[in-house]
Amino acid sequence: MNELIEFISNNLDLLYILILAIFIGVELIKNVPTVLHTPLMSGANALSGVVIVGAIIVMLQSDPTHYIALALGFVAVVLGMINVVGGFAMTDRMLQMFKKKK
């Protein structure tokens, strides 16, 4: 528990940036027109792929005994993979609606 409190206190500025990014992202997504959702989802899937690579790099460079960093990296990889797979499945399904039926 002390490691978690120490980690948060050492990285408080990064936590503020994360919270700010969440609020900005939510506001941006709420104001996107419906026509732009499919191209933006493809771009978001590519960004999630970059997040996965970054999380793997952070996990490789962290100390093997630092379990908090490893757990957060693992959670980032899992959530990034869910986002990529689900995003591409949703984009493919949306694009299927525009194809002509035989």
**101 in a domain, yes or no?**
no
- How high is the pLDDT of residue 21? 92
Read off the pTM: 0.56
* Pair (86, 73) in one structural domain: yes
pLDDT at 98 over 80: no
What does the pLDDT look like over 3-59, one tens digit per residue? 888 888 888 888 899 999 999 988 887 887 766 666 666 667 777 788 888 888 888
pLDDT at 86 over 70: yes
Q: Report the C-alpha dihedral over residues 78, 79, 82, 84, rounded to 10 degrees.
A: -110
pLDDT at 73 over 90: no
Cβ atoms of residues 44 and 93 within 8 Å: no
- A 10 A CB-CB count for 48 gives 20
- What is the span of the domain harbouring residue 59? 34-96
Question: How many domains is the chain partitioned into structurally?
Answer: 2
Q: Which structure tokens are listed for 1?
A: 């528990």
